[in-house]
Amino acid sequence: MNLAVELLSNTGYIMYNKALARVLGVNEAIMVGELCARYQYAFDSGFLVEHDGWFCVSRDDIECDTGLTAKQQRSALQALIDRNVIESKRMGVPSRLFYHLNVHELNAVFDEIETTRCDKRSQLAVTKGHDIHIYKKNNKKESDAHASKFVTTESASANTYGSFKKPSVEEIASYCADRKNGIDASAFYDYHEARGWMLGKVRMKDWRAAVRTWERRNCTEKKERRTVLE
């Protein structure tokens, strides 16, 4: 094969989600991407259904696909386990390392990413909406020492991060009823109440956005179940 073609082929590169890497780390994002690909392969082959959502892949195969050494894999895996994104255990004879994706927590990580993006957009909008004021002190000596100073309105930071108001079960139920998504409002409330209404390490800003994430996840899971039954 032509060397240039081989080097430019997508098989010669590692792909990972950059937004995920900013939250979890580069090696962790690579590991998640590889395990998600293996998860999809196991699902398509029927292996996932036979093993209650668990799938296996060797460290050698992961290293071959990603370039991550066994040590880097262990470190990345432990970080993902600590975030409750991935579970692992040994099963079978001879024993093999099996993995399980925690879809709820993986969605929570992406909620965290989306919340951060929304915060940045809001902060940018507020900053653009206020003029930068220039002033000079009347005292001549101070004016000579400090020709001018720039100050921004103090309301920017106050308006950017509004305090989060925890919803009631009734509010969640009403919102879910309006969207006709069939989400159990009590289950949603209990899940986030147990986590202090945090999305990973970030405080939740919009519980309605979190509901919509559950909605999309449930839709995907229903499609997968229908595919298995067919």
State residue 151's pLDDT score.
38
Instruction: CATH number for 3-101: choose from 3.40.50, 1.10.10, 1.10.287, 3.10.400.
Output: 1.10.10
Confidence of residue 143 (pLDDT cuts 50, 70, 90): low
Q: Using an 8 Å Cβ cutoff, are 27 and 72 in contact?
A: yes
More reliable by pLDDT, 217 or 123: 217
- pLDDT of 30-42, one tens digit each? 998 888 888 888 8
One DSSP character per residue, the chain reads --HHHHHHSGGGS----HHHHHHH-HHHHHHHHHHHHHHHHHHHHTHHHHTTT-EE--HHHHHHHH---HHHHHHHHHHHHHTTSEEEEEETTTTEEEEEE-HHHHHHHHHHHHHHHHHHHHHHHHHHTSPPEEE--SSHHHHHH---EEE--THHHHHHSPPP-PPPHHHHHHHHHHHT----HHHHHHHHHHTTTEETTEE-S-HHHHHHHHHHHHHHHHHHHHHHH-
- Alpha-carbon gap, residue 96 to 107, rounded angstroms: 27
The whole-number average pLDDT for the span 196-221 is: 81
- pLDDT of 82-108, one tens digit each? 988 889 889 888 888 899 888 888 888
Q: What percent of the chain has pLDDT over 70?
A: 68
- pLDDT of 111-122, one tens digit each? 777 766 665 555
Q: Where are the domains of the chain?
A: 3-101, 104-129+163-229
Where is average pLDDT lowest: 26-35, 44-53, 136-145, 212-221? Answer: 136-145
Q: Is 50 exceeded by the pLDDT of residue 212? A: yes
